[in-house]
Amino acid sequence: MARFQDESGNTSSPISGGIINIIAAGTKIVGKVSVESDFRLDGEVEGDIFGKSKVVIGEKGNLKGSLTCANAEIVGKVTGNIMTSHSLTLRSTAELNGDVKIKSLIVEPNAIFNGTCSMRENAQPQQNTQNQPVK
């Protein structure tokens, strides 16, 4: 089981065992990102992220696009909509500008959230299968 710690010493929630994909600070990706395992963004993505597990946007992370996953933890900045089948956590340094469709929401003091929130019992994100890479 892995835990991420940011520069201020805050430790994120545990991420399930297995492979963790990390986009490091200083890295910029333009386009859609699809991940099967846990994912952490410390760099920048201009495009949509589709994850089947947990996605963490780190303190220096910046997403300009939508996020669809099972669980999300935002420590950095997201400009776009978020849809999770389970929980969304906004840490104290988070800035979210977009609408969310989720099952559970946790917002720490000082987190910024500009948008609407739709909560439902059985939120099930659907991954866009158009333009999927050949396996």
**Nearest CA to 110 among 129, 96, 126, 131?**
96
Q: How many CB atoms sit inside 10 A of residue 80's CB? A: 19
In a domain, 59, yes or no: yes
Q: Tell me the pLDDT band of 120, cut-offs 50, 70 and 90.
A: confident
Model's pTM, two decimal places? 0.77
In a domain, 115, yes or no: no
In a domain, 79, yes or no: yes
CA distance 24 to 85: 26
Per-residue pLDDT tens over the stretch 51-102: 999 999 999 999 999 999 999 999 999 999 999 999 999 999 999 999 999 9
In a domain, 125, yes or no: no
Are 92 and 109 spatial neighbours (Cβ–Cβ below 8 Å)? yes
In a domain, 98, yes or no: yes
In a domain, 11, yes or no: no
In a domain, 130, yes or no: no
Which residue range(s) make up the domain with 70? 20-109
Helix, strand, coil proportions of the chain in percent (round to 5)? 0, 45, 55
Number of domains within the chain = 1
**Nearest CA to 115 among 91, 99, 104, 96?**
99
